[in-house]
Structure 1
Amino acid sequence: MHNSLYLSMNLPCTLFETVSRFDDNSADDMRYGDMGQHDLLALGLNDISAKVDPWRFIRYDFPHPSYVDGMFGVSTPGRKISHDECVDILFNEMKELSHEFSFWGEYKSLIGELIDHFRYGNGSAFYSQKLNSAFHMRMSKLSLRSPLLIIKDCIQREFAKTHTKMYIPALLHQIEIMLLRSRLYKFNNPQDRANGLGISVHDISAQKIILLNLQKYSLGWSATVHFEAQDHFGLDVSDIKNELYREFRFFRIWFFLQHHRDFAFKPFLTNFNSVERIDNYL
């Protein structure tokens, strides 16, 4: 049998998939409109915005310091507004506050796009070429225990053992085992705290690695690998109980807009992917 035909009979092959499922709309951070005022106040969310009181629809005449209502019970003066005006103010404030986490680099505008999708997307999935590009750039750095480096090393070792014919089932099984020890790609490096990727995605919820193609030549080999990833743009109770996150108005506004039953903006799935080519020649 011709070697290229033999290889293609075993491909494409899923080499790795996270325990966390793709399209998991039942996840806690995908819930919305499930809380009333009592529930939110019980989580300590009495201070949501510096510009508006979303409980009473009052726009403050002056920026609202965080300690005023919470500590002294003194009401900040303001004027009555409509529900729609309150929504406008909260989303604009959320965008302004996002600059704390996204103020340099080519991906700094990404969080603004996600916030707009949160408001207008009605829970539909989000796709972005910027995220695809960022994902590709992240995996192009072949760091220790990176999945792409593990796949490349496994194929190269098999090729070095026999230049005539690769035993593909054994090779695929070996890659699957080695990938269990890999360090999956995430957007949680120190620079991601400022370039917009950390606040936009951070810890990727689900990932899948698929070997699409493997070609063997007399002097080397080449392979094509597809990386699929998905994250949830949504917060759950454990997020807002986190001592770090709850200190930022950005997250308090986000949680309020998502979970308050009178606002109930829908979280959504963020999808991105990258197709990588690896090879080695003598």
Structure 2
Amino acid sequence: MDNSFSSSMYLPCTLFETVARFDDRTADDMQCGDMGERELLALGLRDISAKVDPYRLVRYDLLNRYELDSPFSSSVSGVKISHQQCVEILFNEMKELSLMFSFEGKYKMLIGEMIDHFRFGNGCGFYSERLNLAFHERLNSYINHNPMLLIENAIEYFYLNSTSRDYQELLHKIKYVLLGSTLPKFNENEDRINGLGITVHDIAAQTITLSSLQGYTMGWSATLFFEAQDHFGLDVIDIQDKLYSQFRFFRIWFFLQRHRDFAFKPFFTNFNSVEKIEK
């Protein structure tokens, strides 16, 4: 017996959504060009680059690199450069430094693509089939509190034990069990070197939608749509973090994003996965 007709009256149905909303441009990590030199220095952003002083638009002399971390680094000699030359040097350096976080696996090229999008994308959303694949693989890579498994168990119990076929009751049950789920993130040890930790890491917003549900005499099938969004941008809390602030990569990123004379726009990273479950 096919129960798709009765269940379709309630579908598609949003089963879960994070408190954090999609397309939230009010978030601090989505701000740009809102700080001057004084504010940035107050955050400890004095030593930005190993190659240029972006405050003075000076390219350092190679022989004076050793002076950069000294108390007298403000007097390091160099060559005056244009604003555009400074931008070019900073983005190239950012790409070079990203390699320490992204040097292994099939997703290691993502950070380079996203740095280019940061520079040239003017704040438009970023979409990548490669990132969709990474999200799909992560959804299928863990067991404990996996939302997909929790949904599967709830539907299986419903078809084995319920005689009423009250789909509203089923949807309510799924929404309840998902409150105890662990959403997929890119924060495993492997993500520190495969490019996923530096590009996405902690996903800002997610939704889970039940798109279809069909019951048969000997089983059932369902289609789930997982949608996610992260922010490719840094907030003040990020740059004040003792770990992140140690790396020039993040200091350059924050400077390029938040200094009013540079003001490169952060952007939303969008990815999704369609998952089929059945018994």
Amino acid at match of 1:207: Q
AA aligned to 2:51 is K
2:106 alignment counterpart: 106
> What is the total number of aligned residue pairs between the two structures?
279
CA 1:74–1:48: 2 relative to 1, 3 Å: closer
Structure 2 vs 1, CA of residues 82 and 7 (structure 1 numbering), >3 Å: closer, same or farther?
same
Gaps of 5+ in 2: none
For 1:239 and 1:183, locate their aligned partners in 2 and report how far apart those are by CA, in whole Å: 23
What per-residue deviation string (whole Å, max 9, x for no partner) do you get for residues 75-105 of structure 1?
2221111000000000000000000100010
Match runs of 1:145-156 below 5 Å: 145-156=145-156
Give the 3-state SS of the residue equivalent to 1:156 in structure 2.
Answer: helix
Match of 1:232 in 2: 231
What letter matches 2:208 in structure 1? Answer: I
Partner residue of 1:94? Answer: 94
Q: Which residue of 1 aligns with 2:277?
A: 278
Q: 1:16 to 1:66 in 2, by over 3 A?
A: farther
Q: How far apart are the structure 2 equivalents of 1:67 and 1:172?
A: 63
Secondary structure of 1:56's counterpart equals: coil
SS at match of 1:138: helix
Counterpart Cα distance in 1 of 2:80 and 2:67: 22
CA contact (8 A) 2:2 2:217 kept: no
8 Å contact kept, 1:50–1:64 = no
Letter in 2 for 1:5: F
| 1:268 alignment partner in structure 2 | 267
Q: Which amino acid aligns with 2:82?
A: S
In structure 2, the partner of 1:30 is 30
- The runs of 5 or more residues in structure 1 that have no matched partner are none
Distance verdict in 2 for CA 1:246–1:12, change over 3 Å = same
8 Å CA contact 1:142–1:148 kept in 2: the answer is no
**Distance 1:70-1:32 versus aligned 2 partners, 3 A rule:** farther
Q: Structure 2-normalised TM-score?
A: 0.96
RMSD across aligned C-alpha pairs, in angstroms?
1.6
Give a deviation string over 1:168-221, Cα, whole Å, max 9, x none. Answer: 111100110110110000000000000000000000000000000000000000
- Paired residues of 2:67 and 2:73 also in contact (CA < 8 A): no
Residue 222 of structure 2: aligned partner: 223
**Aligned-pair identity (%):** 62
Instruction: Using the TM superposition, give the Cα deviation of residue 141 of structure 1 relative to its aligned residue in structure 2, in angstroms.
Output: 2.2
Q: TM-score, normalised by structure 1?
A: 0.95
CA distances 1:6-65 after superposition (whole Å, capped 9, x unpaired): 011111100000000000011110000000000000111000000011011111121765
Letter in 2 for 1:110: L
Distance 1:143 1:67, change over 3 A: farther
C-alpha distance in 2 between matches for 1:157 and 1:222: 13
**1:4 to partner: Cα distance:** 1.9
